[in-house]
Amino acid sequence: MLSSLAMLLMTTFGFNFSPHKKVEAVGQGYWHTSGNQIMDANNKPIRIAGVNWFGFETSTYVVHGLNVRNYKDMMQQMLNLGYNAIRLPYANQLFDAGSKPNGIDFSNKKNADLQGLNGLQIMDKIVNYAGQIGLRIILDQHRPDSNAQSALWYTSQYPEQRWLSDWVMLAKHYANNSTIVGADLHNEPRSPACWGCGDPLLDWQLAAQRGGNTILSVNPNWLIFVEGVDQYNKSSYWWGGNLQGVAEHPVKLNVPNRLVYSAHDYTPDVFNQPWFNAPNFPNNLPAVWDKNWGYIYKQNIAPVWLGEFGTTLKTNVDRQWLASMAAYLGPTKNLAPGAAGISWTFWSWNPDSGDTGGILNDDWKTVNDAKQAYLTPIEFPLR
């Protein structure tokens, strides 16, 4: 029952104290794009702010850490830390009949419900639980073969038609599940891949159009995430991070408002790029990012998603880089009204990433608080 003061305020000033007033959550339904923003079904801006949880693309054929912990516990921890999404890498080999998930503790206190399941069925379990607790999933074709990275989206063993048919299978399989945000078409295309060169076997811009349009023909609700290459007009950058070619050769999809460009960015933990040794480091970093991928967002061409970025955070250069990146992406509280900023997924949740380590420490349980402190201000909980 409302108090007499509340009743007076309602009748005098029109204040609404109804206990049944519903607050509409952010992130509802399928997502689309508008200008440089990702929008939910109610046209509210969204920032993807998540983690990479890898393993389906490796010879274990399942996300790592399940020999130590229950998958639901880890996903709940992701949510509790403020993340809203998981980038989930896979290899096409995952879907071969002989690819048996391994490295899982199937005991009752760990992952008994995964016993006897194949890779796709375990992926279903992760997707279903993500939907229950409010996390979103981006599927990432990380490599064709589980044993090695691939510069191209296909190999002799896994030709382009297999790349396309697996994407069609997944797009149909998850067609009625809005937990899946969309498809990251291929991880880190690089030389001999090119952007806009016109070679039917090597032009990643053209291949991304083929892949994106093939997916959208069976599932028009997905976002299509297109990474860059490593070189454009003799200008080199991180594998998958060079999106300079978008200005002259944009990706064109048959379904409007579905395209998101994706970049990757790292520290000398991965490779000592020349800009780390510039006399004005780290003040030079925003211009480097603007040139390679940030301009797409700033010029309102399309949304940008930093699909991978990470560091061991062991050196002063690492710390300066991550602080600069967090400032460049923009603290959520400082974003302009009606905008949700550049999206991102940190590499990685896993501590067993040799280059960068993870959000989790080596025990697969405790959190690297130093890394988390940089990321918390740029998180975007789906409320």
Which residues are known catalytic residues? 188, 308
For 73-90, give one letter per residue: b (16+ CB within 10 A) or e.
ebbebbbeebbbbbbbbb
Tokens for 285? 């970093």
Beta carbons within 10 angstroms of residue 49's beta carbon: 25
Q: Could you write out the DSSP letters of every residue in 84-132?
A: -EEEEEEEGGGGSTT----S---STTTTGGGTT--HHHHHHHHHHHHHH
Positive or negative: CA dihedral 316, 322, 326, 329: positive
Contacts 24+ apart (CB under 8 A), 105-111: 105/66, 105/67, 105/68, 109/70, 110/66, 110/69, 110/70, 111/66, 111/70, 111/71
CA angle 211, 217, 222 (to 5 degrees): 75
Give residues with Cβ within 8 angstroms of 160, minimum separation 6. 153, 154, 207, 210
